[in-house]
Amino acid sequence: MKVLLRNPKREVEVDGPITVHALLQRFELSPETVLVIVGDELVTHDRKLPDDASVEIRPVISGGGQAPPRSHDSTAAAQPTISGGGEAQPTIRGGAGQ
């Protein structure tokens, strides 16, 4: 089977059938740090992969840190901001005319 690994990007041939869990062990990858995709389907770690499978292993990327504070120059003031947070409709503030 063809296995496309990211970070660094490389393609490796692996004999199958093999479970996703065993495949990850072979590359010394923790199941919590990657996503395994066969075709366009995200697969679980107990899935058995056939010898003719085309597999992609992508690192999990997370984020959600707080955005840096905005400056108060004229360029920033001209840009509208959208806020929500539990309201039925978001509120738009700022913009060129305000």
Question: What are 62-67's contacts with CB under 8 Å, separation 24+?
Answer: none
The answer to whether residue 43 sits within a structural domain is yes
The tokens describing 33, both together, are 């740090």
Q: Tell how strand 54-59 and strand 2-5 pair up.
A: parallel
Q: What is the CATH number of the domain that holds 16?
A: 3.10.20.30
Give CA separation, 89 vs 78, 92, 93, 97, in Å: 22, 10, 13, 21
User: How many folded domains does the chain comprise?
Assistant: 1
80 within domain boundaries: no
pLDDT at 62: 79
Is residue 45 one of the residues assigned to a domain? yes
pLDDT in the model for residue 61? 85
Mean pLDDT for each 10-residue chunk of the chain (98 residues)? 92 95 95 94 95 95 72 54 52 53
What residues make up the domain containing 53? 2-59
Tell me what pLDDT residue 79 has: 54
